[in-house]
Amino acid sequence: MVSALLIIALALAVLALVVVIVGYNKIRAADVRVAEALSGVDVELTRRASLIPSLVHTVQTFAVHEKGILDHVTNARAALASATTGKSVAQRSAAEKDLDSALAPLLALGQSYPQLNSSNNFLNLQDNLADTENKLAFARQYYNDSVAGLNRLIATIPWMFVAPLTGVSEREYYQTPR
């Protein structure tokens, strides 16, 4: 009788240990996916920021009188570059929004300067920016999907009891700049 109770208690202890190990591994794997997805967003933001100097140089050769617009774009690019080195998703999103607002008048200069709009370099840069925007939208969506998976995992039973052991907490979603 005692040995049967001992076997049951041992089996329950082993089962609990297995649940903790499996939960720990699932949560850590989800956390790694989120970090990888955020890195993907950073790659696209960096790619986008690296196109800006060429765009500014191309516009500068045709529109030398637009210094204010060019300076705003340059400053917004620098802010985006520094935001991608931080941990805050909100900071990345705000810097991206600032760059979007700086790029709009720069790209609109093509309408004011017909020779700029007919420049192959300018058109190629616009195409590259559009391609990067599409990749960035996908990277944001992948990040938000990864965050949803992690947040759902650590909020459900039995994993919510294991989550404090992993040191992983809920992550914030990437807000699309508007």
Query: Tokens representing 63?
Result: 């529109």
pLDDT digits over 17-49, tens only? Answer: 998 899 999 999 999 999 999 999 999 988 888
The pLDDT, as a whole number, for residue 177 is 67
Label residue 65 by pLDDT band (50, 70, 90): low
- Who has greater pLDDT, 45 or 112? 45
Query: Tokens representing 69?
Result: 């617009």
The pLDDT, as a whole number, for residue 34 is 95
pLDDT digits over 90-99, tens only? Answer: 888 888 888 8
Q: Are 172 and 147 in contact (CB under 8 A)?
A: yes
Q: Is the pLDDT of residue 64 over 70?
A: no
Full set of structural domains in the chain with CATH: 2-166 (1.20.1440.20)
The pLDDT, as a whole number, for residue 148 is 95
87 burial level (CB within 10 Å; 0-12, 13-18, 19+) = exposed
The pLDDT, as a whole number, for residue 154 is 92
Closest listed residue to residue 63, CA positions, set 14, 18, 119? 119
CA atoms within 13 A on the CB side of 92: 25
Average pLDDT of every residue of the chain: 86
- Give me the mean pLDDT over the 96-113 stretch: 81
Closest listed residue to residue 30, CA positions, set 155, 176, 122, 115? 155
The pTM score is 0.79
Q: Are 122 and 116 in contact (CB under 8 A)?
A: yes
- Give me the mean pLDDT over the 53-82 stretch: 80
